[in-house]
Amino acid sequence: MEKDPVCGMLVDPQRSAGSLIQGGKTYYFCSQSCRAKFEKEPTRYVSKDAGEKIEKK
């Protein structure tokens, strides 16, 4: 399972609604809207040197 960087949900890569490659890593999303948010502002969800780290509110 991979973590959706936008909402923090665990996503099965095989069943994800979408994916994007950012900084050499592939991110998977639970929905198209999460994917669209990430695409607009990827740096908001991914810190440059900690690909695993998820920003929490």
The residues that touch Zn ion, with contacts defined as CB under 5 A, are 4, 6-7, 9, 30, 34
Cβ-based nearer residue to Zn ion, 4 or 46:
4
Phi, psi of 50 (to 5 degrees): -135, 80
State which residue, 10 or 23, has the beta carbon closest to Zn ion. Answer: 10
CB of 38 to Zn ion, least distance (A): 9
> Nearest distance from residue 41's CB to Zn ion, in Å?
14
